[in-house]
Structure formats: structure tokens, C-alpha cells
């Protein structure tokens, strides 16, 4: 692919943070990655491998220490205004009800009350929360709060969607339903998705491509795996199909190695400290 | 209620039986009579009005100052570090010693009491604002920024509501302190107000008047507390039950 045609491109990206003892901790290094417009890409890897750091770099929340983030061929400076970000943690404003939370992005853009509420109501309906417009986040279940967050993120119509283990706090059933609904929303939307997860199953079933990161610190890309399972996919029976199992097994072989490395590193560290 | 009836009844009986000295412990019936007199000649309402005006002014001015300073220091870490020792020092000062100085500076009128009340209210609101702004979760901040919030909008939609949560939950304390400020200020030197009324009665060893003043103040504060509770419940209605 010639440079500059990807929707999101990470060129030689390094991100490091100063640590408390005065040193530097390199979260990710040497990241080369192009994401074409309209693709669903998952980033998988062992815990603590800098997956979220990568998303923050694309969002412009973290400036890379080295290298560049290119959005649609343009180097990113400051906050990326073309992304929507679905966080792992609760990000709804607790003092706004569902309607105001979903409409928040439009309110910030100066859209009038009547129009933004009408558009918010439509999204509330699409994520199945009709009737809960006046409820405050604490009155909803975890799954419902996630739906509201999805509506909040999509309503401002970002070109790129960043998702940081958005469903990891949900129970298994709710999670499968949400994954299915996410695919339905995404299909035909033309949006570029970068989805971070430590769950390989989720990564394979949702994505066009899975990128595997090595164990931290200084994680780099270990492998890229195109997922050529046919779309539209039904997640409920996809997981039992032989093609799925085959791809899954191939990636898992590599991931397992990284997981073990990461595990040994952390246990070795603990052993060092004990000595 | 039963406790109050039994307590006051016992008191009345003990004083009538001369077990307790009526000079130090006036009969509840006398206190009630005194309050009745005050209410019927209308004097008490003027004094109450003055005290409550002072308290309200102290509450409003102290809150606004606390809010502004709290915000500024919470958003600019450098300023916070510079001013931290001064704020700690001022806050650790027993405020009562300031009252005579404010009397000299601002005179016997209401403003010396208002300023005194402000020094009490300010620190409560300041600390709560500071905490409220600092404790906003990073995810809420990042999410709002990604959704397109500018600094001014962050203030209005994220930081201010978060700080208000803290301020409202300390509203009882702030209101109480504003009234304390007014009454103590009047007590030390004034020509009107509830504190003045009490100190006057004390000056002529009229314990009945002192107790009557206390009862009126207590009743008024109770009513105000009830109103504050309602206001608080309405403003923090988005919070889970039991969190207030």
C-alpha cells in the first residue's frame, strides 16, 4: 500500500512515560501499522502490553515520543477530532440523564436543543434504550450504560471508532449480544474501527484483521492476521465453524507464547524484588 | 418528641420545686412567655432579619469566592503549590480572633459580621471545590474532550457539576457556619441582631432572655436545615440513593 492512503497510519511510533523513580517506561515501540478506511481491526495481546496506549496515541490523548500518527495522510497534532472513543470504564456523565448524555456531543457542537434531542432519541431507540431517556446512569445496568455510551459516541458520527475493551466488564451473555449489535451498527457505516481486546475470541469473530502485540514493556507487533470469514457474520454460530477454529488456533499459538513471556517477566520481577 | 416533653417537664418541675436555681436555669414557661412577648411586639423579627441577612450574604460571598479560588487553584497546579502554605495557615487560625479586628475594620454594622462569616464559609467551599475538580475521573475528562468539549465547556459540563456535588454535600456545614459567623459577630459588638439580643440579655443577667434567644435561633436553624435538605435532594437527584 502506498503511504498516505490509509485512514490511520502509525509510523515508527514509540510511546514512553516517565516513571516515578526518574526513569522511562516504554509502553510501545517500533509500531508500524496501516488501517484502511472502513476496516474493522482488532488489537490483541497479553495484559499490560500497551494496547490502550496505542489507542490514546491515535486519539491524540497521548503524544508519541517517537514516530508519527497519520490520519488520512495528515500528521496528527493535538486531539484527533475525527475519532469517537468507547472507553473500558464508565464515561457517561453521572449528572446528566441518558438523553442529555447521548446528546452531549451535539450540545458541545452548538446544535439546538430540539434538534439534538430528536437525533439523540433516534439513537436511544437504535440501541434499545427507549423509555429510559430520563434515567440517570446509576439507575441503569452495566449493559444499558454501555448502550448509552455507544449511542453517545456514534451520534457525532466519527470516521474512526476507537474501542478499548468496551465490553470487558459485562457478563458473557450481554457481551455476546452487544458484540452482535456492534457489528450490525458497523456494517455499512463505512467507519474505521480499532478495537482493543485481550479476548482473542472476540477479536477474531468481529474483525477483518487481528494485530497481535508482544508482551510489554516496549511491545511491538508480533503478527498480523487477516480474518477472511464471510460477512455478515452471526456471532452466535460463527464460533463453532471450522474456519473460525482454524484461524483462532493459529493466532492463539502465537499469543500463548507472548502471554507466557509476559507472565514470566512479571513473575521474574516479583522474584527479583523478593530478593 | 417524648424526650423533649419529659426533659422540659422535668426541668420545669425541678425549678418550681427549688431544686434548680431559677436564676441560672429559668423556667421553660418563662422562656416561652419571653418568646411570646418578643413575637407579639415584633422586635424579634427585625433582629432575626438582620442576622439572616448577614448569614445569607456571608454564604453567597463566601461560596462564590471559594468556588472561584478553588477552581483556579485546582486547574493551575503551580498556583496551588505557591498558595498552599498560606491557605493552610489562614485556615488553621481560630477565626474568632479575627472578629474584633473585623469590627475595627468594618464597623459595628452588618459588614463586619458578613466578612467574619465569609472567612468561615470560604474555606469549606474552597476545599470542596478544589477536591471536586481534582477528583473528576480522567475517563470523564478524556471522553468529554474527545466528544469535542473546549476548556470553557469542560468547566460547565464536567468540572462545575463535579465540584457542585461536593459543595452541596457540605451545604449544611456552610449554612451553619454562615449563621455562626453572624451570631458570633453580633455577640462581640453590634446594635441589632440575634447575637446582640443574647449578649444584651446576658449583660443584665437576664438568663431567661439568653435562653429565649437560643431557642429562637435553634428553631430557625432547624427550619433552614430542612429547606437545605430539600434543596440538596433536588440538586443531587442524579446520585444513587443513600449516597447523600
A1 belongs to a structural domain: no
Tally of domains within chain B: 1
B2 belongs to a structural domain: no
Per-residue pLDDT of chain B (244 residues; tens, 9 = 90+): 788 888 888 888 888 888 777 778 888 888 888 888 888 888 888 888 989 999 999 999 999 999 899 888 888 888 888 888 888 888 888 888 888 888 888 888 888 889 999 999 999 999 988 888 888 888 999 999 999 888 889 988 998 888 888 888 788 889 888 998 888 888 888 788 888 888 888 888 888 888 888 888 889 888 998 998 888 888 888 877 644 4
Are the Cβ atoms of B143 and A136 closer than 8 angstroms?
no
Own/partner pairs, B210-213, CB within 8 angstroms, 24+ separation:
B211/B26, B211/B31, B212/B31, B212/B34, B212/B35, B212/B38
B25 belongs to a structural domain: no
- Asked if ipTM goes beyond 0.90, one says no
Are the Cβ atoms of B146 and A94 closer than 8 angstroms?
no
Task: Judge if A32 and A71 occupy the same domain.
Answer: yes
Task: Judge if A259 and A178 occupy the same domain.
Answer: yes
Task: Judge if A97 and A226 occupy the same domain.
Answer: no
Our CA-based measurement puts residue A105 at a distance from the nearest CA of chain B, in whole angstroms, of: 5
Determine contact, residues A170/A142, Cβ cutoff 8 Å. yes
Q: Which residues of A touch B (CB under 8 A)?
A: 59, 61, 79, 81, 83-85, 87, 89-91, 93-97, 104-105, 107-109, 136-138, 152-153, 156
Task: Judge if A128 and A230 occupy the same domain.
Answer: no
Tally of domains within chain A: 2
Please identify, among A157, A183, A204, the residue that sits at the C-terminal boundary of a domain: A157
Question: What residue spans of chain B are helical by DSSP H?
Answer: 2-16, 28-41, 43-75, 77-92, 98-106, 110-134, 138-146, 151-154, 160-169, 171-188, 194-203, 207-235
Mutate to test the interface with A, among B137, B146, B168 (most CBs of A within 10 A): B146
**CA B48 – CA A68 distance, rounded (Å):** 68
A194 belongs to a structural domain: yes
Are the Cβ atoms of B144 and A90 closer than 8 angstroms?
no
Task: Judge if A117 and A201 occupy the same domain.
Answer: no
B117 belongs to a structural domain: yes
Are the Cβ atoms of A85 and B146 closer than 8 angstroms?
yes
Residue range of the domain that includes B156: 43-235
Task: Judge if A120 and A174 occupy the same domain.
Answer: no
Residue range of the domain that includes A210: 8-82+160-274
B215 belongs to a structural domain: yes
Task: Judge if A100 and A172 occupy the same domain.
Answer: no
Task: Judge if A203 and A226 occupy the same domain.
Answer: yes
CATH number of the domain enclosing A193: 3.40.50.300
**DSSP per position, A58-106:** HHTSS--SEEEEEETTEEP-SS-TTEEEE-SS--S-TTS-HHHHHTHHH
Task: Judge whether B240 is closer than 8 Å to chain A, CB to CB.
Answer: yes
Amino acid at each position: 500500500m502506498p503511504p498516505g492512503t490509509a485512514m490511520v497510519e502509525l509510523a515508527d511510533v514509540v510511546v514512553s512515560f516517565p516513571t516515578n523513580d526518574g526513569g522511562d517506561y516504554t509502553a510501545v515501540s517500533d509500531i508500524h501499522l496501516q488501517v484502511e478506511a472502513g476496516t474493522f481491526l482488532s488489537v490483541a495481546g497479553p495484559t499490560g502490553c500497551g494496547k490502550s496506549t496505542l489507542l490514546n496515541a491515535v486519539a491524540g490523548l497521548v503524544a508519541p515520543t517517537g514516530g508519527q500518527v497519520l490520519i488520512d495522510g495528515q500528521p496528527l497534532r493535538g486531539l484527533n477530532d475525527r475519532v469517537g472513543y468507547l472507553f473500558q470504564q464508565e464515561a457517561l456523565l453521572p449528572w446528566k440523564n441518558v438523553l442529555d448524555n447521548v446528546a452531549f456531543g451535539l450540545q458541545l457542537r452548538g446544535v439546538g436543543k430540539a434538534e439534538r434531542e430528536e437525533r439523540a432519541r433516534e439513537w436511544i431507540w437504535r440501541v434499545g434504550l427507549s423509555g429510559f431517556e430520563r434515567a440517570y446512569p446509576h439507575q441503569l445496568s452495566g449493559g444499558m450504560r454501555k448502550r448509552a455510551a455507544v449511542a453517545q459516541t456514534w451520534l457525532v458520527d466519527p470516521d474512526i471508532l476507537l474501542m478499548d475493551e468496551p465490553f470487558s466488564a459485562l457478563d458473557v451473555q450481554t457481551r455476546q449480544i452487544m458484540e452482535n449489535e456492534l457489528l450490525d451498527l458497523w456494517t455499512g457505516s463505512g467507519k474505521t474501527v480499532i478495537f482493543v481486546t485481550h479476548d482473542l475470541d472476540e477479536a477474531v469473530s468481529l474483525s477483518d484483521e487481528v494485530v497481535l502485540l508482544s508482551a510489554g514493556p516496549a511491545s511491538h507487533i508480533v503478527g498480523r492476521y487477516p480474518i477472511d470469514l464471510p460477512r455478515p457474520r452471526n456471532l452466535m454460530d460463527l464460533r463453532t465453524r471450522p474456519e473460525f477454529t482454524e484461524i483462532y488456533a493459529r493466532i492463539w499459538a502465537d499469543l500463548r507464547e507472548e502471554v507466557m513471556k509476559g507472565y514470566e517477566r512479571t513473575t521474574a520481577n516479583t522474584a527479583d524484588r523478593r530478593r | 418528641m417524648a424526650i423533649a416533653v419529659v426533659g422540659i417537664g422535668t426541668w420545669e418541675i425541678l425549678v418550681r420545686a427549688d431544686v434548680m436555681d431559677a436564676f441560672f436555669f429559668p423556667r421553660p414557661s418563662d422562656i416561652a412567655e419571653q418568646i411570646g412577648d418578643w413575637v407579639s411586639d415584633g422586635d424579634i423579627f427585625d433582629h432575626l432579619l438582620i442576622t439572616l441577612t448577614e448569614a445569607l450574604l456571608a454564604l453567597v460571598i463566601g461560596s462564590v469566592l471559594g468556588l472561584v479560588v478553588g477552581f483556579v487553584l485546582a486547574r493551575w497546579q503551580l498556583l496551588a503549590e505557591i498558595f498552599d502554605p498560606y491557605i493552610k495557615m489562614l485556615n488553621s487560625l481560630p477565626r474568632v480572633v479575627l472578629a474584633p479586628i473585623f469590627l475595627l475594620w468594618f464597623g459595628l454594622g452588618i459588614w463586619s459580621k458578613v466578612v467574619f462569616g465569609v472567612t468561615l464559609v470560604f474555606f469549606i467551599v474552597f476545599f470542596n471545590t478544589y477536591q471536586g475538580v481534582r477528583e473528576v475521573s480522567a475517563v470523564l475528562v478524556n471522553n468529554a474532550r474527545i466528544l469535542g468539549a473546549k476548556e470553557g465547556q469542560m468547566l460547565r459540563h464536567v468540572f462545575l457539576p463535579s465540584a457542585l456535588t461536593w459543595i452541596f454535600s457540605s451545604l449544611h456545614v456552610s449554612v451553619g457556619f454562615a449563621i455562626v459567623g453572624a451570631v458570633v459577630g453580633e455577640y462581640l459588638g453590634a446594635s441589632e441582631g440575634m447575637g446582640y439580643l443574647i449578649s444584651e440579655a446576658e449583660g443584665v443577667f437576664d438568663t431567661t432572655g439568653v435562653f429565649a434567644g437560643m431557642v429562637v435561633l435553634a428553631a430557625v436553624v432547624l427550619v433552614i436545615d430542612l429547606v437545605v435538605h430539600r434543596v440538596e435532594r433536588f440538586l443531587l437527584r442524579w446520585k444513587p440513593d443513600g449516597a447523600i
